[in-house]
Structure 1
């Protein structure tokens, strides 16, 4: 696989992972209670961030002359299935919702770190990814801090 093909594959993987993130936060929104307005605002903002990230990545894939990935990743589908099973048994507490969101934020951060570290990822794409990963890390830290602030 040449560098161009590897870059396209990486970008399409990250597009799918952002789709996973969007769907994960949409599912989390469904679990929130009416009084969780600040979390609704946060999750809605994070969905918007991933939509913007996706668009930036898709623009690069299109510029390279390839098809843009749609859907979600296989690992994301497996994770959501696990969440659905767990949800049947959990209390849907704010803390458990935030724990699952943090788990998802860990996964997307890891994917970005691997893409940035990949020697086949071209420099200007790495710059885009570093900027997005910085925002993702900040979101992770915010979700984690909120989770940690909730007593059992």
Structure 2
């Protein structure tokens, strides 16, 4: 039988799993949309996809260990943030600058989601450590995306 703490923890973790699912879908969409992008940016997006798969799976193990069911969807019906879904539909143009801008917005939403999750006092210490580590890694991704954004000319070509 789940305790209220376990239920809250599983809900919070499943929200973060959904955010990571959204992040995967968002970067997959970005890779498809960018036609002439620097291969380094595409490689960065692939790295972020792989990172989110790892984060999602790590969180899923914790949900399942507590007797819960791991979220398989995205935040379309969402509880915390829906920004990644907005990003996926926001690619009206395929220039690198606008795509990177959307990615910055999504990464900032992921930061807010992890911050919100960490505010829950019910989260056990071992899971809190996982969330702190994932949040830090996501912050590094945000910083990298911002750096690429700042290095791209307005018409979408790398400087």
Q: TM-score, normalised by structure 2?
A: 0.86
Matches for 1:1-150 after TM superposition, within 5 Å: 2-74=4-76, 75=78, 80-81=85-86, 83-84=88-89, 86-88=90-92, 90=93, 92-150=94-152
1:80 Cα deviation after fit: 2.9
1:96 & 1:50 partners in 2: Cα distance? 22
**Consecutive aligned runs of 4 or more in structure 1 exceeding 6 Å deviation:** none
SS of the equivalent of 1:16 reads: helix
Relative to 1, partners in 2 of residues 1:35 and 1:81: Cα closer, same or farther, differing over 3 Å? closer
1:151 Cα deviation after fit: 2.3
1:31 Cα deviation after fit: 1.1
2:157 alignment counterpart: none
Greater helix share, structure number: 1
2:87 & 2:100 partners in 1: Cα distance? 16
Please list the CA deviations of residues 58-86 of structure 1 after superposition, one character each: whole Å capped at 9, or x if unmatched.
000110011111110125667535652x4
1:83 & 1:61 partners in 2: Cα distance? 27
1:77 & 1:107 partners in 2: Cα distance? 8
1:77 & 1:111 partners in 2: Cα distance? 10
SS of the equivalent of 1:7 reads: helix
Gaps of 5+ in 1: none
Please list the CA deviations of residues 71-114 of structure 1 after superposition, one character each: whole Å capped at 9, or x if unmatched.
10125667535652x434x3x21111100011110011110011
**Equivalent residues, number:** 149
